[in-house]
């Protein structure tokens, strides 16, 4: 029997824009009330809140900087206002460029803090405070190989992928933890669509995906009653090819 999203409350991190916003909207369309976490994009978060409320569910805003311990106490604060959190979608992340050549410990730690440690603390707090619920973590299909232009980022996602598997076992059966690993979906913030269009050829399906496909995978995992520790690569098959496994072609 499928798990009912309708009537539940979800916290989506980094939800004001892009993939996070589509996940928040899709959850609202399924009948969930949504806590929209944002860092800087307050105006987008407000617009999204209005759009979600037009779907006859509740929406709230919460600002927090995960680069600065803003994840501490976030579950308590959101659950206190919303009357509980049933669904956590760990979507927020940073994506700075770095290579092994110029990687620094400080840069690595900054990526780990936002991309792995913050979502881990939120998961752990969900288990401790809410006692039960469902978690979907946004990973990256390049963890099957590596991304030599975003070394610190991809290492943080490797860590988060391992944390996802560990949490899926450690917190079961109360917390059900799964992941979605996007491939080419959107260019980095501020870059034109051509940024990923020129990489379409590297994808077995010869195209990039859309935030709708990511949100659909999140909804699928949440509705399932028998998936745990599963990671769905939504990447047109890119995780299967050797392109990313290096040595890099430059």
Ligand X SMILES: NC(=O)c1ccc[n+]([C@@H]2O[C@H](COP(=O)([O-])OP(=O)(O)OC[C@H]3O[C@@H](n4cnc5c(N)ncnc54)[C@H](OP(=O)(O)O)[C@@H]3O)[C@@H](O)[C@H]2O)c1
Point out the residues that are catalytic. Answer: 18, 140, 153
- Options 1-9, 14-22, 99-107, 198-206: segment touching ligand X (CB under 6 A): 14-22
Residues numbered 169 to 188 that lie near ligand X (CB under 6 A) are 182, 184-186
Residue with Cβ nearer ligand X (7 or 188): 188
> In the complex, what is the shortest distance from the CB of residue 234 to ligand X, in angstroms, rounded to a whole number?
9
Query: Closest separation between CB of residue 238 and ligand X, Å?
Result: 10
Q: Looking at beta carbons only, is 132 or 206 nearer to ligand X?
A: 206
Q: How many residues does the chain have?
A: 250
Interface residue with ligand X among 20, 107, 133, 236 (CB under 6 A) is: 20
One of 27, 32, 36, 41 touching ligand X (CB under 6 A): 41
Is residue 92 classed as helix, strand or coil in its secondary structure? Answer: coil
**Residue among 141, 137, 147 nearest 204 (CA):** 141
Asked if residues 184 and 234 have their Cβ atoms less than 8 Å apart, the reply is no
| Residue whose token pair is 């599963």 | 230
Question: In the bound complex, which residue of the shown chain has the CB atom lying closest to ligand X?
Answer: 14
Distance of alpha carbon 17 from the chain centroid: 12
Cα separation, 69 vs 113, whole angstroms = 9
| Residue 233 in contact with ligand X, rule: CB under 6 A | no
How far is the CA of 138 from the CAs of 53, 100, 120, 182, 184, in angstroms? 25, 23, 12, 7, 13
Q: Note whether 221 binds ligand X by CB under 6 A.
A: no
CB 179 within 8 A of CB 137: yes
Please identify, among the stretches 59-67, 79-87, 101-109, 225-233, the one whose residues bind ligand X according to the rule CB under 6 A: 59-67
- Measured CA to CA, the distance from residue 125 to residue 76 in angstroms comes to 8
- Tell the smallest beta-carbon distance from residue 122 to ligand X (Å): 11
CA 87 from centre of chain: 12
Q: Does 107 bind ligand X (CB under 6 A)?
A: no
> Is residue 203 at the binding interface for ligand X, with CB under 6 A as the rule?
no
Interface with ligand X, residue 98, by CB under 6 A: no
CB distance 12 to 89 below 8 Å: yes
Strand partners, 138: 180
Of 28, 48, 123, 138, which lies in the binding site for ligand X, with binding defined by CB under 6 A?
138
CA atoms within 13 A on the CB side of 232: 18
| By the rule CB under 6 A, 189 interacts with ligand X | yes
User: What residue ranges bind ligand X (CB under 6 A)?
Assistant: 14, 16-20, 38-41, 64-67, 91-95, 114, 138, 140, 182, 184-186, 189
């Amino acid at each position: 029997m499928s798990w009912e999203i309708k009537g539940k409350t979800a916290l989506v991190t980094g939800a004001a824009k892009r993939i996070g916003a589509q996940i928040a909207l899709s959850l609202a369309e399924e009948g969930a009330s949504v806590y929209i976490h944002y860092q800087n994009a307050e105006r987008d978060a407000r617009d999204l809140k209005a759009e979600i409320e037009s779907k006859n569910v509740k929406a709230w805003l919460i600002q927090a900087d995960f680069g600065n311990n803003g994840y501490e106490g976030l579950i308590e604060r959101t659950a206190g206002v919303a009357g509980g959190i049933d669904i956590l979608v760990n979507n927020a992340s940073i994506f700075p460029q770095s290579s092994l050549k110029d990687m620094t410990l400080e840069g690595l730690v900054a990526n780990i803090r936002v991309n792995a440690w913050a979502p881990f603390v939120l998961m752990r707090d969900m288990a401790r405070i809410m006692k039960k619920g469902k978690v979907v973590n946004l990973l990256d299909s390049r963890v099957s190989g590596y991304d030599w232009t975003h070394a610190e980022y991809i290492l943080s996602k490797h860590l988060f992928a391992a944390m996802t598997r560990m949490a899926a076992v450690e917190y079961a059966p109360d917390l059900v933890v799964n992941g979605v690993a996007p491939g080419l979906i959107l260019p980095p913030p501020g870059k034109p669509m051509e940024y990923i269009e020129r990489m379409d050829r590297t994808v077995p399906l010869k195209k990039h995906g859309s935030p709708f496909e990511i949100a659909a995978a999140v909804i699928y995992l949440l509705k399932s009653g028998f998936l745990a520790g599963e990671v769905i690569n939504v990447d047109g098959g890119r995780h299967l090819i050797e392109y990313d496994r290096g040595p890099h072609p430059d």
